[in-house]
Amino acid sequence: MGGVLEGTVALVTGAGGGIGSATVKAMMDAGAEVIATDLQAPAGGTLSLAHDVTDQAQWQQVADTIRDRWGRLDVLVNNAGTVKIASIEQTTIEDWRRMMAVNAEAILLGHQAMLPLLREAGKNREGGASIVNISSVSGLVGNAFAAAYGASKAAVRLFSKAAALEFAALGYNIRVNSVHPGGVETDMSELICQTFVDMGMAPDMAAARADSARLQPIGRTGKPSEIANAVVFLSSTAASFITGSEMAVDGGWTAG
């Protein structure tokens, strides 16, 4: 995909994690300048910043930094996320609030803080500025022991569609789409497998990973780069007619 993001300024949150770091790399390989943020400033990126996505003031600081250096933002990737696998009976209100804060509320904060910079980019960028919100298969279909996580990710899906329609109505030239990964080999999926072992749902990690692979009809989990490639596409001018869509990148998990 070399060069499709030449001249693009992009922000990726949660960029210290598996999918986030792969997205930063794929975007830079495609020619973008990337602001990479995470709770602690991550490795990689044209610029790396510490940024808690639940903190409105920190969003504004990141926006100010980008305005001072670039004056605009072409692409926003809301990727930071957190999960706690648990039965509904075992899910605490603190678990619920944490997932809602990181996975859902941060989407609102991110759109609000970056909108002036994205609008600026939309004035000149062919195909418009682009927001890619990372949801999950759990935002499309129900998954046992993921009720709170699924609720937070379903919020991302419809927020994205509403934002796409609203920005179109306002003439902002900003596209908004959601991406729905299936199981992807990252720290998060390892944590999920470990939780299933701890819950007695799988005898050991090898069995939990095999169960996870079987959820995809193609019989394997995904690699972070396979999600990153979809994000690069949606961010690029090649996706100029795509807004308000939900892209499953899930090995067929949600196709049936």
State the residues that interact with ligand NAD by CB under 6 A.
Answer: 13-14, 16-20, 38-39, 51-54, 79-83, 102, 134, 136, 181, 183-184, 186-189
Of the pair 17, 45, the CB lying nearest ligand NAD is at 17
Distance CA 13, CA 25 (A): 13
- Is 172 a known active-site residue? no
Catalytic residue (one of 149, 159, 196, 233): 149
Of the pair 121, 188, the CB lying nearest ligand NAD is at 188
Distance CA 244, CA 163 (A): 8
Distance CA 135, CA 251 (A): 15
CB of 91 to ligand NAD, least distance (A): 16
CB of 221 to ligand NAD, least distance (A): 7
Distance CA 49, CA 75 (A): 17
Q: In the bound complex, which residue of the shown chain has the CB atom lying closest to ligand NAD?
A: 17
CB of 23 to ligand NAD, least distance (A): 9
Distance CA 102, CA 192 (A): 17
Contacts for 121 with CB less than 8 Å, ≥ 6 apart:
9, 72, 73, 74, 129
What residues are labeled active site? 149
